[in-house]
Copies of this chain bind each other. A is one copy, B any other.
Amino acid sequence: MRGAVIHAPGDVRFESLDDPKILKPTDAVIRTAVTCVCGSDLWPWRGLDETTDPHPMGHEYVGFVEEVGSEVAGLRPGQFVVGSFATSDNTCANCRNGFQSNCLHREFMGTCQAEYIRIPNAQGTLVALDETPDEALWPSLLALSDVMGTGWWAADAAEVRPGSTAVVVGDGAVGLSGVIAAKEMGAERIIAMSRHESRQKLALAFGATDIVTERGEEGVARIKEMTGGIGADSVLECVGTSQAMSQALYSARPGGNVGFVGVPHDVAVDGEELFYSHVGLRGGPAPVRRYLPDLIDRVLTGRIDPGKVFDLTLPLAQVAEGYEAMDERRAIKALLKP
């Protein structure tokens, strides 16, 4: 089969690779329906995460079951499946507590920009649909495997409640998905912090009620001004930089909550500042598996359409162009078709 391999910053190649095989009896192999490029894939592309040896890329996927290991129950070849970027047995103590992305047997996916994919912990990770969905829904179902699941987690961790005010820091695909989540959870006011016109439009289409273009201290001042001087009930931090984290913490009201889902790069939170802010802070890799049944239902019934974050569709063979377009912010998110 063929798939994407990163060799160095800016150097992702579409190459021949060994076909994935069942390595453990708990594995499955799926044929990729669609996959995509994630904002976090840009860290090694930009050289901000080191690439020591060439390795496959990609952790988002929907596909068709091709083969299952001897210990995988409830899945059979031909089924259309959605899974998380973090695999889980869905039975351990952390999974039972709803934190499947901290499963004691967790393996992070990393080979999904390819024609076939091996899925560890298949039974606990994959959710099979009753029938193959219309191809028009594949992008939205694909979004659930990471960005929409992560946006949902950001809103959940930030404790968005009906009638509340939510601020979304970051206008990437996760931030935009966070707008959808805040809307679904009943936020009355959703303030998207964005200075890119196409992303502002999508944020408004997804349910944002206000756009704030200022950043840093000016952005915080604007949020305070809009929230009676005290700040927002919930802030979704969807970037992962130190500046974004500060912006998020200072935008939340005393007793408010920040859900942080951007993988932190050189972020340190000052204990005394957090103390006097009274802000609650929770983040981490999204427990996508917890949300999947509900989110699949919302997609299939047409309540949400997170697939709109894909504003570029490419053949899988042109995966490198997907990285480039996202790096140069010509695209929000690139969908890849095998």
Residues of A within 8 A of B (CB): 93-94, 97-99, 101-102, 104, 157, 228-230, 242, 245, 253-255, 260, 263-272, 274-285
Contact = CB atoms under 8 A, between A and B. Distances in A.
Given A94-B253, A104-B229, 9 more contacts: A94-B255, A104-B230, A245-B271, A265-B272, A269-B271, A269-B274, A276-B284, A278-B285, A280-B280
Nearest to A97: B255
B102 A278 contact: yes
A230 B276 contact: no
Number of identical protomers: 2
The 8 closest A-B pairs by CB, nearest first: A267-B271, A264-B271, A102-B254, A280-B282, A278-B284, A99-B255, A269-B269, A99-B254
Given A93-B230, A280-B280, A267 B272 contact: yes
A260 B275 contact: yes
Contacts of A101: 278
Nearest to A237: B271
A42 B229 CA distance: 35
B284 A94 contact: no
A269 B104 CA distance: 24
Contact of A268 (B97, B270, B279, B281): B270
Given A269-B274, A278-B102, A254 B97 contact: yes
A278 B282 contact: yes
A98 B281 contact: no
A174 to B, nearest CB: 14
Contact of A255 (B102, B242, B245): B102
Contacts of A263: 272, 275
B268 A271 contact: yes
A252 to B, nearest CB: 11
Nearest to A228: B93
Contacts of A268: 268-271
A276 B285 contact: yes
B274 A94 contact: no
Contacts of A271: 242, 245, 260, 264, 266-269
Contacts of A97: 253-255
Contacts of A255: 94, 97-99, 102
A265 to B, nearest CB: 8
A281 B285 CA distance: 16
A278 B99 contact: yes
Nearest to A101: B278
A235 to B, nearest CB: 14
23 contacts: A93-B228, A94-B254, A97-B255, A99-B255, A99-B278, A102-B276, A157-B280, A242-B271, A254-B284, A260-B275, A263-B272, A263-B275, A264-B274, A264-B275, A265-B272, A268-B271, A269-B269, A269-B271, A269-B274, A275-B283, A275-B284, A278-B284, A279-B282
